[in-house]
Chain A
Amino acid sequence: MALLQITEPGQAIDPHLRKRAAGIDLGTTNSLIATYREGSVDTVADADGGHLLPSVVRYLADNTTVVGKLALAAAKQDPANTLLSVKRLLGRGIEDVNKLGDQLPYHFNAQATGMPLIDVVSGTVSPVEASAEILKTLVQRAEATLAGSLDGVVITVPAYFDEAQRQATKDAATIANINVLRLLSEPTAAAVAYGLDSGAEGVVAIYDLGGGTFDISLLKLNKGVFEVLSTGGDSALGGDDFDHCIAEWIIRQAEFKAQPSLSQSRGLMLAARSIKEQLTTQQQVIVAVDLDGLNYTGELSRDQFDEMIKPLVTGSIKACRRAVRDAGVSLEDIHSVIMVGGSTRVPVVVSAVADYFKAQPLTSIDPDRVVAIGAAIQANILVGNKPDDEMLLLDVLPLSLGLETVGGLAEKIIHRNTTIPIAKAQEFTTYKDGQTAMLIHVLQGERELVTDCRSLARFELKGIPPMVAGAAKIGVLFQVDADGLLTVSATELSQGIEAKVEVKPSYGLADDEVARMLKASFEFAQEDVDNRTLMEARVEAQSVVDAVQNALTVDGEKLLSEAEIKTLELAMHNLEQALVQNDGQNGVQNDGQNDVRVLEDLTRALAAASDDFASRRMDASVRSALSGHTIDEFEKD
């Protein structure tokens, strides 16, 4: 807090200083990007006017990729090199892939351990890299429209995404060279799109029925603060299942006994989908299927269709009931229900939802676009375009975090539904004389056995001072940030020695792998890489200088002694000098790496020198937040 950005309330941002922000809905079947143009927010269309980008990446022999509609069109002729639904693989392990079964016609790399890797014509790719291609395509679309590069992006993830899946999403953004302001949960984004953050109080239900997944989330709104109360759903229920119902009905009507061939199945599914869509506006449609021996002509009424899909719709309502219960609220508390996902266009779905919640669901924003739009609204605020906006989105940890203990048991350290960010300290000791290292296995899930939870990472603590067994006390701090991402740090408490933490993500990429992929993905020359690091170091240095300067002007005299101000000013002066010397105008000099190091060292020094000041300002601001007093009333210590 401390180093607050000061802007007068109501003061408009100079249009030239307006930053470019966007919201991305990275979906299983389709992805979208939304942004502000001329003051209003909407999704961005491609050259043909299509807003949905099929989440499909095709790898070609010449090392290039095709993303979207063209890739989807090639899926049938080139299944091994055309990756669909990679979101299902993000942050997942090889054994999860085996569970997905034959849905995926790819050649999985046999050498891969942990994260699944796919062999394509141009090499081996991870789901993270494929997702990065989708992100890059979306960003290019937005940047072409806005005529400039994006300053920051909010990416949405399902509310139930675990740490590994969130980390994989963020890694994909890093590889695509995107500055992520926040990972936002999809239902929260939908609520933001409907503007429910302003004024409305109470509980909102978000019913999200996509092509292959169903999610129900309950959010509590109170004075601009969103809290996720509960989530539920079915990862194997979606509009595609409605198509299957119609397809099976056609097979029965046609009295077709054999196993349909691949092309017959495909034709059936296309016909079924079209029938489903027509039944959204019509009471009765003509069915005419002629697929190489699988023939049927007749009629299907909406009532018949409703009856067919009834078990599926009822199943989704059952999940709603459970989510309401988990949230500890009653139906009367729920004042709005938002519909998300293309499959919510089916009328019987809308009426079933309306019946259960006893409220007319909100459908005025296109259910395909609503999540991306909400993400763009938050991105615009986070990037700094609306400094006096009150909105604050609080998220919870979707699954408990735990540690492996003796006997293969999982001990929970942070429980699910805890508001994040959160930190928990845990104390460990050595069990052997002279032990200098220790392995911590972090898990996520609700079950008691390690084998029933998801393995997130193994942390190896090194550099523990050798002592007799049980004498070393190692304090391990588990910290989950606002995106739901975990970091671990450790200190030997009796001697105060920082232990080194080495992370081995179970299904993710290590930091150096992400850096390598970023480099490979942009085919940077070494010089470009140096330029980039120098620019980043300069931006960070400048932002620390600005923040300290600003803080000194506002609160320096109130909260600091003269000597303390002098120390800060000196550290600031040193860094400003370094910024002048390495102005980046002529690119990187021969000692580019050195320039970066000097800037980074001085930035760290200034940050360290201002840490205490920052804390005091924070404290003062917290006190004023509670008492309604102004910061001026708090004197220096």
Chain B
Amino acid sequence: MDFKQNFFQIFQIQPGFNLDLTQLSSDYRALQKNVHPDKFAAASAQEKRLAVQWTAQINEAYDTLKSPLLRAIYLLKLEGVEIQHNPALEAAFLFQQIELREQLEAIESSDEQALEQLDQFSQQIKDLLAGYEHDFALVAVAPMDIKVAEQIVYKIQFVSKLLVGANQLEEKLLGY
């Protein structure tokens, strides 16, 4: 396999944000059945080594493409953009994030129906996330407006972290 192939080429699909995830997962399995080291358990050391390398590449491609956030970051990378660790974001977005964080903290300290409140909150976050993903899909077509695309990715990153926070709180409330 050509290790210089990008992740989309490995799956023989056009680079883009909208993917058929069911197709991707069945293609992934079809590839694994051809390359997995278990298929070479009785083969020579050379073949075993190659099988490990190939499978590792396919696994990384699949892990990246199946996650909307990682897929978006990867599309930017193909355009030559590396994600920054401390990006500058619109003030309005940051205020909204602070408000949402405060809401989450309020749910944690509220005595009544914390779980119900949290369910509603999580749904709100998921809707927000879906909206940004939709925005990204619209931007991520050639010629890509890289500045806009990058901003949306940062927003997806922020909101995804919020969702992780909500999930952690749910675990805490459920007593795990």
Q: Given contacts A423-B53, A482-B37, are A3 and B30 in contact (CB under 8 A)?
A: no
Is A20 part of the binding interface, using a Cβ–Cβ cutoff of 8 Å?
no
Docked-complex contact A481 and B50, CB < 8 angstroms: no
Q: 11 additional contacts, CB 8 Å, given A482-B55, A547-B47, A625-B33?
A: A3-B43, A5-B43, A321-B176, A382-B38, A392-B39, A394-B32, A394-B36, A420-B56, A482-B52, A619-B1, A622-B34
Report chain B residues within 8 Å CB of A623.
12
Is A363 part of the binding interface, using a Cβ–Cβ cutoff of 8 Å?
no
Is B2 part of the binding interface, using a Cβ–Cβ cutoff of 8 Å?
yes
Report chain A residues within 8 Å CB of B31.
622, 625-626
Is A352 part of the binding interface, using a Cβ–Cβ cutoff of 8 Å?
no
Docked-complex contact B43 and A543, CB < 8 angstroms: yes
Contact stretch, chosen from B58-66, B82-90, B94-102, B131-139: B58-66
User: How many chain A residues touch B (Cβ–Cβ < 8 Å)?
Assistant: 51
Report chain B residues within 8 Å CB of A614.
46-47, 50
Q: Given contacts A540-B45, A614-B47, A619-B2, are A1 and B54 in contact (CB under 8 A)?
A: yes
Is A618 part of the binding interface, using a Cβ–Cβ cutoff of 8 Å?
yes
Docked-complex contact A479 and B46, CB < 8 angstroms: no
Whole-angstrom distance between the alpha carbons of A211 and B32 in the complex?
37
Is A174 part of the binding interface, using a Cβ–Cβ cutoff of 8 Å?
no
Whole-angstrom distance between the alpha carbons of A423 and B58 in the complex?
10
Which listed residue (A2, A422, A479) contacts B47, Cβ 8 A?
Answer: A2
Report chain A residues within 8 Å CB of B176.
318, 321-322, 325
Is B57 part of the binding interface, using a Cβ–Cβ cutoff of 8 Å?
yes
Report chain B residues within 8 Å CB of A393.
38
Whole-angstrom distance between the alpha carbons of A223 and B26 in the complex?
9
Is B29 part of the binding interface, using a Cβ–Cβ cutoff of 8 Å?
yes
Q: Which residue of A lies closest to B53 (CB)?
A: A423
Whole-angstrom distance between the alpha carbons of A224 and B26 in the complex?
12
Is B20 part of the binding interface, using a Cβ–Cβ cutoff of 8 Å?
no
Q: Which residue of B lies closest to A384 (CB)?
A: B42
Interface of A is mostly: mixed
Whole-angstrom distance between the alpha carbons of A393 and B39 in the complex?
10
Shortest beta-carbon distance from A453 to chain B in Å: 20
- Counting chain B CB atoms within 10 Å of each CB, the highest count among A422, A623, A626 belongs to A626
- As a 0/1 sequence over residues 609 to 628 of chain A, the CB contacts with chain B under 8 angstroms (1 = contact) are 01100110011011101110
Which listed residue (A2, A19, A419) contacts B59, Cβ 8 A?
Answer: A419
Is B118 part of the binding interface, using a Cβ–Cβ cutoff of 8 Å?
no
Is A533 part of the binding interface, using a Cβ–Cβ cutoff of 8 Å?
no
- As a 0/1 sequence over residues 76 to 119 of chain B, the CB contacts with chain A under 8 angstroms (1 = contact) are 00000000000000000000000000000000000000000000
Q: Which residue of A lies closest to B12 (CB)?
A: A626
Q: Which 3 A-B pairs have the closest CB atoms?
A: A382-B41, A607-B46, A423-B56
Docked-complex contact B53 and A383, CB < 8 angstroms: no
Q: Given contacts A1-B34, A223-B29, are A421 and B52 in contact (CB under 8 A)?
A: yes
Whole-angstrom distance between the alpha carbons of A225 and B54 in the complex?
18
Shortest beta-carbon distance from A338 to chain B in Å: 21
Which listed residue (A392, A419, A619) contacts B33, Cβ 8 A?
Answer: A392
Is B27 part of the binding interface, using a Cβ–Cβ cutoff of 8 Å?
yes
Docked-complex contact A611 and B46, CB < 8 angstroms: yes
Shortest beta-carbon distance from A538 to chain B in Å: 12
Docked-complex contact B41 and A421, CB < 8 angstroms: no
- Counting chain A CB atoms within 10 Å of each CB, the highest count among B25, B27, B41 belongs to B41
Which listed residue (A222, A223, A480, A615) contacts B1, Cβ 8 A?
Answer: A615
Docked-complex contact A615 and B171, CB < 8 angstroms: no
Is A276 part of the binding interface, using a Cβ–Cβ cutoff of 8 Å?
no
Whole-angstrom distance between the alpha carbons of A525 and B96 in the complex?
75
Q: Given contacts A1-B50, A321-B176, A615-B1, are A482 and B43 in contact (CB under 8 A)?
A: no
Is B11 part of the binding interface, using a Cβ–Cβ cutoff of 8 Å?
yes
Is A355 part of the binding interface, using a Cβ–Cβ cutoff of 8 Å?
no
Docked-complex contact B38 and A225, CB < 8 angstroms: no
Whole-angstrom distance between the alpha carbons of A197 and B39 in the complex?
16
Q: How large is the interface on B (under 10, 10 to 19, 20 to 34, 35 or more residues)?
A: 35 or more
Is A54 part of the binding interface, using a Cβ–Cβ cutoff of 8 Å?
no
Docked-complex contact B57 and A423, CB < 8 angstroms: yes
Report chain B residues within 8 Å CB of A182.
38, 41
Docked-complex contact B46 and A627, CB < 8 angstroms: no
Docked-complex contact A419 and B63, CB < 8 angstroms: yes
Whole-angstrom distance between the alpha carbons of A547 and B1 in the complex?
18
Is A418 part of the binding interface, using a Cβ–Cβ cutoff of 8 Å?
yes
Q: Which residue of B lies closest to A610 (CB)?
A: B46
Is B73 part of the binding interface, using a Cβ–Cβ cutoff of 8 Å?
no
Q: Which residue of A lies closest to B51 (CB)?
A: A1
**17 residue pairs bridging A and B, Cβ less than 8 Å apart:** A1-B51, A5-B42, A152-B42, A225-B32, A322-B171, A383-B42, A392-B33, A421-B37, A479-B53, A482-B55, A540-B45, A610-B46, A618-B1, A618-B35, A622-B31, A623-B12, A625-B34
Docked-complex contact A152 and B41, CB < 8 angstroms: yes
In chain A, residues 19-35, which have Cβ atoms closer than 8 Å to a Cβ of chain B? Answer: 19
In chain A, residues 202-248, which have Cβ atoms closer than 8 Å to a Cβ of chain B? Answer: 222-225
Shortest beta-carbon distance from A387 to chain B in Å: 10
Report chain A residues within 8 Å CB of B44.
3, 540, 543-544, 547, 607
Docked-complex contact B38 and A482, CB < 8 angstroms: yes
- Counting chain B CB atoms within 10 Å of each CB, the highest count among A181, A422, A480 belongs to A422
Report chain B residues within 8 Å CB of A383.
41-42
Whole-angstrom distance between the alpha carbons of A322 and B167 in the complex?
12
Report chain A residues within 8 Å CB of B60.
422-424
Report chain A residues within 8 Å CB of B37.
421, 481-482
Shortest beta-carbon distance from B82 to chain A in Å: 12
Whole-angstrom distance between the alpha carbons of A423 and B49 in the complex?
12
Which listed residue (A418, A547, A610) contacts B63, Cβ 8 A?
Answer: A418
Docked-complex contact B54 and A618, CB < 8 angstroms: yes
Report chain B residues within 8 Å CB of A222.
25, 29
Shortest beta-carbon distance from A74 to chain B in Å: 38
Whole-angstrom distance between the alpha carbons of A325 and B41 in the complex?
34
Report chain A residues within 8 Å CB of B34.
1, 618, 621-622, 625
In chain B, residues 3-32, which have Cβ atoms closer than 8 Å to a Cβ of chain A? Answer: 10-12, 25-27, 29-32
Shortest beta-carbon distance from A166 to chain B in Å: 15
Is A390 part of the binding interface, using a Cβ–Cβ cutoff of 8 Å?
yes
Whole-angstrom distance between the alpha carbons of A145 and B100 in the complex?
67
Docked-complex contact A615 and B2, CB < 8 angstroms: yes
Whole-angstrom distance between the alpha carbons of A619 and B50 in the complex?
12
Report chain B residues within 8 Å CB of A419.
59, 62-63
